[in-house]
Amino acid sequence: MGKNKKIFAVVLGGLAVAGVAFFLVFGGGNKDSEELKAAFRVLTTAEATGKKSDVEILVSKKFNDAGLDYNAAVEELSIKRAGMRVDISDVRLREGQADISYIRKEIIDKKPVSTKIVNETWVKEDDGKWRLIKFSDADRVQIPKLSQARKELEEQAKAKRMAEEAAEAAARNVAYSAAGKRDPFESLIVEGAGEEGGAGDAANKCEPERKRDFMEGFDLLSFKMVGILYINGYYALVEAQNGNGYTLKPGMYIGRHCGRVLKIMADRVIITEKHSAIRGGFVDREVELKLKEAE
């Protein structure tokens, strides 16, 4: 009987040890899984709402994937994703890391899009918090494409704003009609001479080795200032004697004497021209084109 009691005690003790081990292994895993899912939900909600402060916390500082470092990843993931929601399909834990698979649904270009995300990698860092460290294969392809498309749209919007501001600036100063005129932001460098442009013999033979720009075919003082606008720097709108409108920026050439735009200010353009010197060679002279004050 005493022997049976000892055997029972040993078995009971073994079961207790096994229970503790089971809790540590599987119970701890469940805890990690729940903490991971909670962090994942916070990050995806931040992406859906564009909440950058949460994205900053939940992306690992060691992030380096799809050509993005931590800062670039935060910026990308902080862009609001319309209608985004996720359904987790699988979580696989391994030592210090985990892979999450899920279905992401969102609105892109006004159309519902569903993307299957497989094995997005998260890491449990030294502070015990779970953070995103690697994209899934699908996002490595999709995110750079979306980023490029967004940049192209931003460039198109910027060009539209510039054209609108140019038109408004011109309208505030003088009557200026774009009818029959070229785009004021079109390139000013033209291959060969235009019908009314071209430097011809009047270029005063300054800088003979340099190919002439189109606006060097007109006398400088024949240009009329019609507006000045500021878009990350000043630009000037001028009208040539042929009735066409052009845009000036520092460094451009204008006029028949190798005139070059030195500086554009809020109400004038300063240009340096090269004129023949009495003893040979050339001397620089500054000329100002002033904006006519609105009456």
Q: How confident is the model at residue 271 (pLDDT cuts 50, 70, 90)?
A: very high
Claim to verify: residue 73 and residue 169 sit in the same structural domain: no
Comparison of pLDDT for 27 and 65, the residue scoring more: 65
The pLDDT of residue 29: 63
Whether residue 130 is found in the same domain as residue 166: no
Asked if residue 36 is part of any domain, the answer here is yes
Alpha carbon 175 to chain centroid, angstroms: 36
pLDDT at 212 over 90: no
Share of the chain above pLDDT 90, in %: 43
Residues 253 and 184 occupy one common structural domain? yes
- pLDDT band for 19, please (50, 70, 90 cuts): very low
Q: What range does the domain containing 171 cover?
A: 160-290
Q: Does the CA dihedral 44-49-54-56 come out positive or negative? A: positive
pLDDT at 257 over 60: yes
- Answer whether residue 153 is part of any domain: no
- Can you give the pLDDT at residue 84? 94
* pLDDT at 295 > cutoff 70: no
* 86 CB-near residues (< 8 Å, 6+ apart): 40, 44, 102, 103, 104, 105
Number of domains in the chain: 2
- pLDDT score of 2: 55
Distances (CA, A) of 160 to 68, 167, 253, 283: 29, 11, 25, 41
Q: What pLDDT shows up at residue 14? A: 52
Pairing of strands 111-124, 97-108: antiparallel
Burial class (CB in 10 A: 0-12, 13-18, 19+), 264: buried
What pLDDT does residue 278 have? Answer: 82
This prediction has a pTM of 0.50
Q: At what angle do helices 28-49 and 70-77 cross, to 10 degrees?
A: 70
Give the least confident one: 52-56, 198-202, 208-212, 290-294. Answer: 198-202
Q: Are residues 86 and 164 in the same domain?
A: no
Q: What is the mean pLDDT of residues 270-292?
A: 87
Note whether residue 144 is domain-resident.
Answer: no
Q: Which residue has the higher pLDDT, 60 or 282?
A: 60
User: How high is the pLDDT of residue 99?
Assistant: 96
Q: What is the mean pLDDT of the chain?
A: 79
| Mean pLDDT value of segment 195-206 | 49
Residue 137, pLDDT score: 95
d(CA 184, CA 51): 40
Least confident of 27-31, 35-39, 124-128, 140-144: 27-31
Q: Are residues 266 and 177 in the same domain?
A: yes
Residues 286, 242 contacting (CB under 8 angstroms): no
Question: How many Cα atoms sit within 13 Å of 204 on the Cβ side?
Answer: 19
Tell me the average pLDDT across 203-218.
80
- Same domain for 281 and 198, yes or no, is yes
Per-residue pLDDT, 210: 86
pLDDT in tens, 71-107: 999 999 999 998 999 999 999 999 899 999 999 999 9
pLDDT attached to residue 127: 96
In this structure, the answer to whether residues 199 and 277 fall within a common structural domain is yes
Q: 117 phi and psi, to 5 degrees? A: -100, 120
**Any idea which residue has 């500054």 for tokens?**
286
How much is the pLDDT for 202?
Answer: 43
**248, 269 Cβ separation under 8 angstroms:** yes
User: For residue 215, what is the domain's CATH number?
Assistant: 2.30.30.830
